[in-house]
């Protein structure tokens, strides 16, 4: 069972750069920022007034019964839409397959924050009777995964992982593990987030975690730059379809890349801060390399967690240098697409894996924009400001979450 190979056959995404995978990738490779003034709420009393919002999104077309969309939180709208796009891209829905062997793993770091806020307001300002009977199923983090399985009759393993900003990577990685172990033949896996809400914005802002570069939003997310002052909140979803290789080949699926490595670890250090030497993150990357059977020099590109926080970027750089050794400075290229999307929290890993997959497909490494004065404590090649043409055979995506949760995914050109 452990030798079952796993491939990726479908992609779906919504992000501040666009409402599908193609437009998101187009924005990334062209170095376009999706960050701007927040339009979805009144931010006059907030220190941070900018974010990466998903724009002009209508969830109804992504539900078989459009009325069902009314019973879902925005995070579920985004996740189900991205999952539907990935499913369509893969062609799996219309294949002659056993649906009890298809699993769904759609996670969210925070879940239905908007539903919680709106119904708590109704409770306090009106009465208990004004709280929606759908409040609980709308706000819980597993409901997008559950609803998607109901929509398409997928009776395989169904879970929703919650590991903060590592959620999507863990979801995809655990789907990989279950397929290799033989518990499923295919999975729809990824993450979604919609936390640009009063509580979310105030909570992160009062932690002093967010950038306050309100006068220049497109330049606010600047990983590895000396002028970085915090991350930029984003929202969206990133989902992939992963399948066992022979299963995918038997139905004539288009194989985008092979998922060969998955690493996970804990910092066991601090509630919100990464380990100062990046030890947990390095162990995580080492595990992904080991699973893939690769040496550091076999990897050309790392899509960094790269949040644009003063401490996080330095710690991740140390982790990459520890894991990749001399290759980290000799030939490895690193970039943070969060410089363009902002930080999509529980959805980040799904959208950033898309960047790795498209980088392999097109031979283009997306840039780290806004990198004008590189931090001397971050001495790697971060593909500053302009995309670069490089043949990529293997790429690694990092996601690290509050609580010390680390997850790395390694994908390779299929051969």
Which one of the listed residues 305, 315, 383, 405 is annotated catalytic?
305
Cβ-contact 368, 383 below 8 angstroms: yes
Task: Name 100's Cβ contacts closer than 8 Å, sequence gap at least 6.
Answer: 155, 156
Cβ-contact 169, 399 below 8 angstroms: yes
Distance CA(92)–CA(111), nearest Å, equals: 27
Cβ-contact 408, 397 below 8 angstroms: yes
DSSP states of 163-211? -GGGHHHHHHHHHHHHHHHTS-SEEEEEEEE---SHHHHHHHHHTT-B-
Catalytic-residue membership of 305? yes
Distance CA(49)–CA(39), nearest Å, equals: 9
Give the DSSP H or E segment for 27: helix 21-29
Distance CA(402)–CA(400), nearest Å, equals: 7
Which one of the listed residues 77, 165, 378, 383 is annotated catalytic?
165
The owner of tokens 């004539």 is 252
DSSP states of 227-269? T--SB-BB-EEEEEEEEEHHHHHHTTPPP-EEEEEEEEEE--S
Give the DSSP H or E segment for 284: helix 279-292
Catalytic-residue membership of 275? no
Percentages (nearest 5) of helix, strand, coil residues in the chain: 40, 20, 40
Catalytic-residue membership of 170? no
Nearest by Cα to 344 from 399, 405, 303, 386: 399
Distance CA(4)–CA(248), nearest Å, equals: 12
Nearest by Cα to 350 from 1, 10, 3, 73: 10
DSSP states of 329-385? HHT-EEE-THHHH-B-GGGHHHHHHHHHHHHHHHTEEPPBTT-SSB-TT--S---BS
Which one of the listed residues 77, 170, 291, 343 is annotated catalytic?
343
Distance CA(99)–CA(152), nearest Å, equals: 9
Active site residues: 165, 305, 343
């Amino acid at each position: 069972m452990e030798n079952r190979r796993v491939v990726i056959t479908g992609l779906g995404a919504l992000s501040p750069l666009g409402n599908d995978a193609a437009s998101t990738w187009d924005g990334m490779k062209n170095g376009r920022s999706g960050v701007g003034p927040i339009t979805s709420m009144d931010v006059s009393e907030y220190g941070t007034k900018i974010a990466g919002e998903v724009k002009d999104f209508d969830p109804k077309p992504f539900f078989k019964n459009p009325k069902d969309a009314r019973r879902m939180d925005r995070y579920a709208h985004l996740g189900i839409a991205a999952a539907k796009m990935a499913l369509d891209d893969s062609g799996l829905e219309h294949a002659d397959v056993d649906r009890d062997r298809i699993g769904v793993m759609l996670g969210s770091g925070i879940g239905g924050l908007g539903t919680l806020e709106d119904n708590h307001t109704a409770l306090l300002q009106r009465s208990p009777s004004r709280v929606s009977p759908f409040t609980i199923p709308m706000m819980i983090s597993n409901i997008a995964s559950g609803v998607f399985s109901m929509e398409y009759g997928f009776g395989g393993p169904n879970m929703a992982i919650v590991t903060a900003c590592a959620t999507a990577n863990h979801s995809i990685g655990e789907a990989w593990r279950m397929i290799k172990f033989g518990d499923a033949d295919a999975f729809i896996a990824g993450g979604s987030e919609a936390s640009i809400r009063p509580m979310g914005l105030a909570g992160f802002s009062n932690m002093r975690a967010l950038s306050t570069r309100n006068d220049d939003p497109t330049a606010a997310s600047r990983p590895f730059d000396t002028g970085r002052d915090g991350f930029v909140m984003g929202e969206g979803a990133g989902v992939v379809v992963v399948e066992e290789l022979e299963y995918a080949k038997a139905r004539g699926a288009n194989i985008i890349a092979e998922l060969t490595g998955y690493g996970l670890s804990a910092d066991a250090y601090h509630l919100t801060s990464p380990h100062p030497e990046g030890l947990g993150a390095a162990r995580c990357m080492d595990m992904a390399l080991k699973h893939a059977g690769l040496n550091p020099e076999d990897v050309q590109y790392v899509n960094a967690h790269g949040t644009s926080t003063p401490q996080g970027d330095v710690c991740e750089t140390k982790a990459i240098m520890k894991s990749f050794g001399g290759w980290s400075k000799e030939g490895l290229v690193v970039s943070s697409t969060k410089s363009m999307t902002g930080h999509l929290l529980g959805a980040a890993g799904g959208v950033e894996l898309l960047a790795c997959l498209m980088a392999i497909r097109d031979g283009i490494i997306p840039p780290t924009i806004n990198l004008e004065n590189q931090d001397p404590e971050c001495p790697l090649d971060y593909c500053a400001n302009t995309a670069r043409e490089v043949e990529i055979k293997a790429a690694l995506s990092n996601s690290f979450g509050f609580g010390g949760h680390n997850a790395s995914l390694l994908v390779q050109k299929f051969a």
